[in-house]
Structures are given as structure tokens and as C-alpha cells.
């Protein structure tokens, strides 16, 4: 590849045959393993672009052409994550260490040293080994089961870095601008909630604790923080909801908006004022759409399809997203900008252009993050780079590759070819902002972080941490990219966020952003086999919310809010309505379970237009309630909020008890405040029986096999209960505390846990690889059906023999105490 300043044929450019720029050819048909991991243009750009010396580059490129190790992270609360990690270490690692393959010892999974507490692991085991050796197969089954249960996240190592650099603490308000598929959002949610479970237990027991130690737990031990996870695509937003719902965290809202024009969120006026305020965030993650050329170890299509125009085409969108993030950031707040690309056009160029547009280092500064994840091996950001472009004639023929070092060299080269080859076309996406900033800008781009594959056997990643030092005046996008001669700043108000930026490069505000990755952070095995969706009903509309207006607000700094279009546009609105705190249904539920008056009653959300408690009730945080209530009719597209706490249970005995059951997602939040219907399980045998059997019998003679659990259930009327399992060390104990919903039927009991979760718990707690669940209701139904068939056959035989209709025997009818299944 030429290294000349201008990039012309005599000054460093070279010709190449190929398709028209941007045409990536046909869809891949051959297996991934057969795709050659070679691309001369891709390799030469990073070899000669000043990224590292030649010897180090050769080492790095060997890693780039090799398979990426599988990696995973233990998730959830600290106590649960550590407990599941210990089960993994004690049960599976010793067995795996003894495996040999083709005469060599197979390396077991190892903790990634860059992350604390051995919560992140990776393994390089080939699939052939996993298939042939039982210890690996058993470990794989454990990994899949815990991923389904939400205790493990199959996530690439480098994608775990940005949340650590954000330095999130409980009580902070955080925005994840481009959140799907949700692995980073899960990390952020864990950080926001912190160790609130322990503090809530102390608060509910009236024990003293410091509500501001390590964060803000002033809501009776609960974190006051909030995560808003956003994605522009409705399908990807659905994937995001599936990922974060497994964590059972109420301080969470999922939205669906173009991140580059993310709407301002209205908040109540300040005391003594009637003017609305707008939410500013403590922390923002902008993990933006990128070319993904650092993912070639897992996405081999990069080798076939990489072109320099990938990064150039995304630069403008990335810059708009970053600028919008800085507008939404609170003064003193921190924003992490990240990509899985190595191209400085998508990285340092975007960061430098944003800082310059905001007014320089006095307004927005790059943070030195060498103190975060100190064991992470990294390289500094670049201050100089070249911009690669491929010009062509006649729709892709006679290609020339150019390396430009400055905007001026690009302009002069275009002028030269305009005279000699007027039909030669250059990329229309090259703007002033894709080049290194002027040396006078003094932006310390070396504070950015570059992670390369050879440093710790990962993919490639870029991270920059920006702090908003002062209020900013944002130049219009045209002046940022070099398409306008005179910047026109837009002032930022103290009380209102400026309106979203207008489009760049002629792209409409409502245009869908390109895919975030060529292949997402979530590994293939981590994708759910099926996503359970709620059936359409009056409470759960199928479609997303109405589209917001795409009209561009005036650049005056005055808050402009998009209003929803009329319902006759063919879209159904998603409804998010809060139940009044004096609602009799909620009061009845609280009385039935003995819920303390200290537990808030005004945070229960339903999903129907009328705001009625019909099917499900979601519990949310106070800040989430404020945001939903004030912005539900302002054009915001809310997709998900809170956790399901109560579900309607339609049964015959409903007149005698609260006809609502506890839901596994929210039960741990509620249990510390409950005084009734608490059943304690102290025996491993009793819990095992409840897991392995569905609807075990509770006969009237009290001869049952449910141990201490059955004895307690006899003293309770029909309805749902808390099954509480306390942590206890030793072989006969439990590795961590659990709270599960259990239903007391007239003649049976049933743990309200689905089959997949039952099997995961049996594997986790009892090491049962292939448990056979017993469903007493299903067995009884089979027997009844068989008897009915036999009776019908006998009746038909009698008729054939001439017996009269009146001589038929009566069919037994199930009595009132028959087992009732849950809805």
C-alpha cells in the first residue's frame, strides 16, 4: 500500500480491480471454516498506518486470523455470582484438568486477570474435545443452564470493559444509548443496584445502616439510581428486554429511539418554579454502531468484505450520537465512547471532533483511565493517522487506493484528478473531521484506550472516557464535519437539554441506524432458543408505541418535544399506567401477604389503556415512575419498565383469598417486607422434592412427603406463599439464600418455577444431569383420558350387543378437592 501524502498514482496510490465501492458482493454461502482469513487491503492498512512496529504487527495479525476464545461472566448480585462461581470451580474445573486430547493435556477454563474477583473466564477448548469428553460436556450443560437462568452471561471479554470505565455507583442515573443485545446493560444494572439486598434486609429489620456509603441507598435500603437502555431497532430492543429481564432489577427502563436524536426527558419543575426541567445523566455509555473490523476472530466475514468506506460511512452517525450524549450528560458527568473497530476514523477522529465542537478541553476533557482495570493490557490512543479511500471510474472499475494524511491533501488530490480523470469518484463521506486534529488543539488523544488481540488473546476494542467539565455550546453538525465554513453554536441551557441535532449528510432523522455490529457481542450459544412472548390481549398490545414527529426543532436552545401521531397511522400504542396507591386490589394483596406499610404502594405499573389491575402488575423505582408518568404522552417509545411482581390467578377458591400470585422476578424485592404466608425450607430433601415433583399431594390425612414445608402449608389457606431458603454452609446447606413462589392448592402444592429453571436448580444444587420431572396433574389427566376412552369403548361394545342406553354405568366426576393447575 502506498504511503505518499496525497495518494495519487505517482505519490503512493495504487490501482486495483474490484467491485464498486460499497458493494460487498453476494451473501456468504460457504462454511465459516472455509473462508480464507486474508485481505490484502485490510492487512496493509493496519500494517503501514502507524499503529505499531512491524514485529508487533505480525504477532497481532496471527491472533487476528485465529479463533476467539469462548468467554463468560458470572452475573447477578454479588452473593449469587460468587456462589455460582464456586460451584463451577469446585465441581467442574478439577474434572476438566484431567482431560487429554491427542496426547496433550487440555487447558481448562481460566479466569481473565484483567477483571476482579474471578468473575470473568475464558476457554480455548475445541468443539471436538467438548463433544468427546464427558467432563467438558457436563460443563457445557451447566454453562447453558446457568445462562438461561441469568446467572452467566456469554459475552466477549473486550465488551465487558466499557462499564468498568464508567465508574457507576448506586444512585446514579445512567443511559446506555445503543444497548442491544444487552450484555453491557446487564453490567450497568448490577452496578446501579450494588449490594442493596443486604441493606434492604437491614432496613426492613429496623437495623441501622449508612444509606450513603458506597452510593445512594436512601430509599429504605434500595438504590435510587436508574438505567435507561435504548436501541433504535424494535427487534433488537426486544432482544435487549429478554437479556435484562433475567436480572430482575426494577430500576430499569428500555426505550426505542435513534440514539443520535434521543429525546429529552421531561422532569417536574424545581420547587417554586412552574418551568419543566429535563433529565441530565450522571453516566452515559455510547457503544456506537461501527464497522466491527476488530471482530474478525469471531466474524470471519470481515476478511471478505472489509473496505475503508465502512468506517467513513459511519463516522457522521457516530459523531452525532456522541454529540447528543454530551448534550444529555450532567456537568461533571462521565461518558464512555466505545467501538469494536480499530479504525481511527471511527475512534480518535470522532472523539477529537466532538471535543472541538464543544469548545475544547475546557468544556469536555479526556479522562486518564489507567487506574481502572489496572491488569488490563492496553495501548494508548493515536494522535496521527492516515485516512484510506478507494477511488474508482465507471462504477467500480480501475480502482486506486489512497492514503490521505490531511484534509488539504485530500482536496488537492481530488483537484488533480478532476483535470486528468474527471470521471474518477472519491468517497463522499470524507470530511474534515475524519482527519487528525490540528496540533494547536492539544487534545490528549493518547488517553484513549486501544485493546489489540495479541495483548491478552481477545478481540480488538477502542474506549475513550470523556468528562463534561462545563456547559457546552454545540456547533451545528455541518461545521463539525467540515461541510460548513462558519460554526453556528447552539447554547446549552441550565434547565433544559437542547433539542436533538439536525441530520448530517442528508440522512433523515427517522432513518434507521446501521447494525451495531457485523456480529453482536453475544455468542451464538448465548442466544435464547426461544423467547417467551406474551399473547396479544387487551393488556398487552402487539405493536410498539406511535412514532414521534421527525420535524427538526429550531436551533435556538429551546426545548422541543415530538408529539405522538394519531392512532390511525396503523400502529398501536404501548400503554404504561400506574395504579393509584389507594387502589383496593393492591390493598387486598398487601393485607393477604402482610406487606409493611413502609413498602411503597404507588409504584405498580400495568400495561393497558385504562390503568386497571387485570393481568400483571410491574414494580418500578420511584424515578422510573416519575419519568414514565411525565413522558408517556410526549412521543417517547417505552418498551419495558420494571419487574413483574404479581400475576392474576383465576381459580375457583378466589373468593377466599387474594386471587394474585407472586412472581419469581419480583419476589425477592417484596419478601423482606412481608409478615404473612412465609414458608421456611431448611431441608435439601424437601426442596429437591418440590423441584422434581409438580403438584405433589397434600392429602387430608396429612400423610405427605414434603417434610417441614408440607407441615407449614397445612396451616395456611389456599393461595400463594413465599418459600424462603436461607443460606447455610456445609453439605446439608444451601450456597445462597433463595425466595421462590409456591402455591397452596386444596389438595396439593406447586412451586411456581418453570421446567427450565427447575432443571437448572437441580443441576446447580444437586448435580443432577438429566432430572426426570414428575407432573402429577399431567399423569392424572392421562389416567382420566385413558379411563374415558376405555368407558367409551365399553359403551360402544354394549350398544353393539343390544344393551339399552339407560343401562350404562355413570362416569365418576372429580370432586371439589381435585388438584387445580395454575394459569
Angle, helices 755-766/134-149, rounded to nearest 10 degrees = 130
**Would you say 183 is a known binding-site residue?**
yes
State yes or no: is 340 an active-site residue: yes
Cβ 798 vs Cβ 807: under 8 Å: yes
What are the DSSP E strand ranges found in 690-777? 693-694, 719-725, 738-744, 749-751, 774-775
**Would you say 182 is a known binding-site residue?**
yes
Angle, helices 40-48/54-64, rounded to nearest 10 degrees = 140
Of the residues 340, 448, 641, 720, only one is catalytic, namely 340
**Would you say 184 is a known binding-site residue?**
yes
What one-character-per-residue DSSP string does 421-453 give? -TT-B--TT--GGGSPPPGGG---GGGSEEE-H
DSSP code, position 811: P
Query: Using alpha carbons only, what angle is made at residue 144 by residues 142 and 146, rounded to the nearest 5 degrees?
Result: 65
Q: Which three cell numbers stand for residue 486?
A: 462558519
Cβ 698 vs Cβ 714: under 8 Å: yes
Contacts with 823 (C-beta within 8 Å, 6 or more apart), sequence order: 647, 648, 649, 650, 651
Cβ 257 vs Cβ 229: under 8 Å: no
CA distance 211 to 191: 16
Return phi, psi of residue 572, to 5°.
-95, 145
Which H or E element spans position 111?
strand 110-111
Phi-psi region of 417 (alpha: psi -120 to 50; beta: other; left: phi over 0): alpha
Q: Are strands 14-16 and 397-404 parallel, antiparallel or unpaired?
A: antiparallel
Which H or E element spans position 468?
strand 461-468
**Would you say 179 is a known binding-site residue?**
yes
Distances (CA, A) of 595 to 586, 592, 673, 726, 793: 10, 8, 5, 20, 55
Contacts with 145 (C-beta within 8 Å, 6 or more apart), sequence order: 756, 759, 760, 763, 764
**Would you say 167 is a known binding-site residue?**
no
Distances (CA, A) of 394 to 19, 20, 398: 10, 9, 8
Q: How many residues does the chain have?
A: 823
> How many Cβ atoms are within 10 Å of 711's Cβ, its own excluded?
13
Q: Are strands 719-725 and 678-680 parallel, antiparallel or unpaired?
A: parallel
Contacts with 420 (C-beta within 8 Å, 6 or more apart), sequence order: none
Nearest by Cα to 450 from 300, 312, 340, 331: 340
Contacts with 807 (C-beta within 8 Å, 6 or more apart), sequence order: 798
Cβ 332 vs Cβ 302: under 8 Å: no
**Would you say 181 is a known binding-site residue?**
yes
**Would you say 538 is a known binding-site residue?**
no
CA distance 146 to 153: 8
The β-bridge partners of 425 are: 392
Q: What is the dihedral of CA 210, 211, 214, 215, to 10 degrees?
A: -170
**Would you say 379 is a known binding-site residue?**
no
**Would you say 287 is a known binding-site residue?**
yes
Q: How far apart are the first and last CA of the chain?
A: 66
Annotation: binding site for S-adenosyl-L-methionine? 178-184, 231, 258, 287
Catalytic residues: 340
Q: Which residues are annotated as a binding site?
A: 178-184, 231, 258, 287
Amino acid at each position: 500500500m502506498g504511503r505518499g501524502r496525497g495518494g495519487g498514482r505517482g505519490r503512493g496510490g495504487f490501482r486495483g480491480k474490484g467491485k464498486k465501492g460499497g458493494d460487498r458482493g453476494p451473501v456468504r454461502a460457504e462454511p465459516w471454516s472455509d473462508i480464507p482469513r486474508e485481505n490484502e487491503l485490510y492487512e496493509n492498512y493496519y500494517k503501514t498506518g502507524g499503529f505499531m512496529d512491524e514485529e508487533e504487527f505480525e504477532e497481532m495479525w496471527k491472533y487476528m486470523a485465529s479463533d476467539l476464545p469462548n468467554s463468560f461472566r458470572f452475573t447477578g448480585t454479588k452473593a449469587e455470582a460468587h456462589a455460582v462461581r464456586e460451584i463451577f470451580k469446585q465441581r467442574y474445573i478439577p474434572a476438566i484438568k484431567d482431560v487429554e486430547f491427542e496426547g496433550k493435556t487440555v487447558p481448562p477454563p481460566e479466569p481473565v486477570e484483567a477483571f476482579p474477583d474471578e468473575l470473568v473466564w475464558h476457554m480455548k477448548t475445541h468443539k471436538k474435545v467438548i463433544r468427546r469428553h464427558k467432563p467438558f460436556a457436563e460443563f457445557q450443560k451447566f454453562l447453558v443452564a446457568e445462562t438461561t437462568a441469568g446467572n452467566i452471561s456469554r459475552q466477549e471479554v473486550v465488551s465487558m470493559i466499557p462499564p468498568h470505565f464508567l465508574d457507576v455507583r448506586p444512585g446514579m442515573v445512567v443511559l446506555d444509548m445503543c444497548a442491544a443485545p444487552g450484555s453491557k446493560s446487564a453490567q450497568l444494572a448490577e452496578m446501579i443496584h450494588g449490594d442493596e439486598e443486604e441493606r434492604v434486609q437491614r432496613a426492613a429489620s429496623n437495623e441501622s445502616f449508612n444509606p450513603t456509603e458506597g452510593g445512594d441507598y436512601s430509599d429504605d435500603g434500595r438504590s435510587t439510581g436508574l438505567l435507561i437502555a435504548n436501541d433504535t431497532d424494535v427487534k433488537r430492543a426486544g432482544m435487549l428486554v429478554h437479556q435484562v429481564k433475567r436480572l430482575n432489577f426494577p430500576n430499569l427502563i428500555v426505550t426505542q429511539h435513534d440514539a443520535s436524536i434521543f429525546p429529552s426527558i421531561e422532569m417536574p419543575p424545581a420547587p417554586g418554579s412552574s418551568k419543566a426541567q429535563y433529565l441530565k445523566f450522571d453516566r452515559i455509555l455510547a457503544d456506537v454502531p461501527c464497522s466491527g473490523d476488530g471482530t474478525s476472530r469471531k466474524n470471519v466475514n470481515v476478511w471478505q468484505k472489509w473496505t475503508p468506506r465502512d468506517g467513513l460511512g459511519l463516522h457522521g452517525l457516530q459523531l452525532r450520537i456522541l454529540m447528543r450524549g454530551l448534550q444529555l450528560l450532567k456537568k461533571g458527568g462521565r461518558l464512555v465512547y466505545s467501538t469494536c473497530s480499530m479504525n481511527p476514523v471511527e475512534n480518535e477522529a470522532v472523539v477529537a471532533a466532538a471535543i472541538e465542537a464543544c469548545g475544547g478541553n475546557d468544556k469536555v476533557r479526556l479522562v486518564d483511565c489507567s487506574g481502572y482495570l489496572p491488569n488490563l493490557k492496553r495501548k494508548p490512543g493515536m494522535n496521527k493517522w492516515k485516512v484510506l479511500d478507494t477511488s474508482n471510474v465507471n462504477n467500480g472499475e480501475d480502482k486506486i487506493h489512497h492514503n490521505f494524511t490531511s484534509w488539504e491533501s485530500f482536496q488537492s488530490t481530488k483537484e488533480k484528478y478532476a483535470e486528468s480523470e474527471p470521471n474518477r469518484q472519491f468517497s463522499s463521506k470524507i470530511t474534515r473531521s475524519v482527519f487528525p486534529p490540528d496540533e494547536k488543539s492539544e487534545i490528549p488523544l493518547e488517553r484513549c484506550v486501544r485493546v489489540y488481540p495479541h495483548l491478552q488473546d481477545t478481540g480488538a476494542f477502542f474506549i475513550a472516557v470523556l468528562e463534561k467539565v462545563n456547559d457546552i455550546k454545540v456547533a451545528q453538525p455541518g461545521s463539525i464535519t467540515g461541510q460548513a465554513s462558519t460554526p453556528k453554536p447552539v447554547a446549552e441551557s441550565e434547565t433544559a437539554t437542547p433539542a436533538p441535532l439536525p441530520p448530517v449528510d442528508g440522512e433523515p432523522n427517522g432513518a434507521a441506524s446501521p447494525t451495531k455490529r457485523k456480529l453482536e457481542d453475544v455468542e451464538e450459544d448465548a442466544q435464547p432458543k426461544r423467547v417467551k412472548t406474551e399473547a396479544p390481549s387487551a393488556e398487552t398490545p402487539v405493536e410498539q408505541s406511535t412514532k414521534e414527529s421527525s420535524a427538526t426543532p429550531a436551533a435556538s436552545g429551546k426545548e422541543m418535544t415530538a408529539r405522538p401521531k394519531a392512532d390511525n397511522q396503523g400502529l398501536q400504542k404501548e400503554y404504561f399506567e400506574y395504579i393509584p396507591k389507594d387502589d383496593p386490589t393492591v390493598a387486598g394483596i398487601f393485607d393477604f401477604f402482610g406487606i409493611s406499610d413502609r413498602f411503597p404502594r404507588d409504584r405498580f405499573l400495568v400495561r393497558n389503556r385504562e390503568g386497571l389491575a387485570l393481568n400483571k402488575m410491574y414494580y418500578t423505582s420511584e424515578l422510573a415512575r416519575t419519568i414514565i408518568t411525565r413522558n408517556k404522552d410526549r412521543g417517547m417509545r417505552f418498551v419495558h419498565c420494571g419487574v413483574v411482581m404479581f400475576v392474576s390467578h383465576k381459580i375457583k377458591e378466589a373468593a377466599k383469598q387474594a386471587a394474585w400470585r407472586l412472581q419469581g422476578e419480583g419476589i425477592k424485592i417484596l419478601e423482606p417486607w412481608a409478615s404473612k404466608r412465609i414458608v421456611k425450607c431448611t431441608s435439601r430433601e424437601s426442596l429437591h422434592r418440590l423441584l422434581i415433583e409438580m403438584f405433589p399431594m397434600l392429602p387430608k390425612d396429612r400423610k405427605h412427603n414434603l417434610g417441614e414445608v408440607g407441615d407449614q402449608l397445612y396451616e395456611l389457606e389456599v393461595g400463594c406463599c413465599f418459600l424462603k431458603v436461607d443460606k447455610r454452609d456445609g453439605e446439608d446447606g444451601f450456597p445462597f439464600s433463595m425466595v421462590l413462589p409456591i402455591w397452596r392448592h386444596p389438595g396439593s402444592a406447586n412451586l411456581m418455577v418453570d421446567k427450565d429453571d427447575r432443571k437448572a436448580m437441580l443441576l446447580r444444587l444437586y448435580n443432577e444431569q438429566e432430572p426426570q420431572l414428575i407432573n402429577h396433574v399431567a399423569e392424572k389427566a392421562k389416567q382420566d383420558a385413558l379411563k374415558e376412552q376405555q368407558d367409551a369403548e365399553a359403551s360402544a361394545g354394549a350398544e353393539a350387543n343390544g344393551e339399552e342406553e339407560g343401562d350404562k354405568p355413570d362416569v365418576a366426576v372429580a370432586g371439589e378437592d381435585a388438584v387445580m393447575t395454575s394459569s
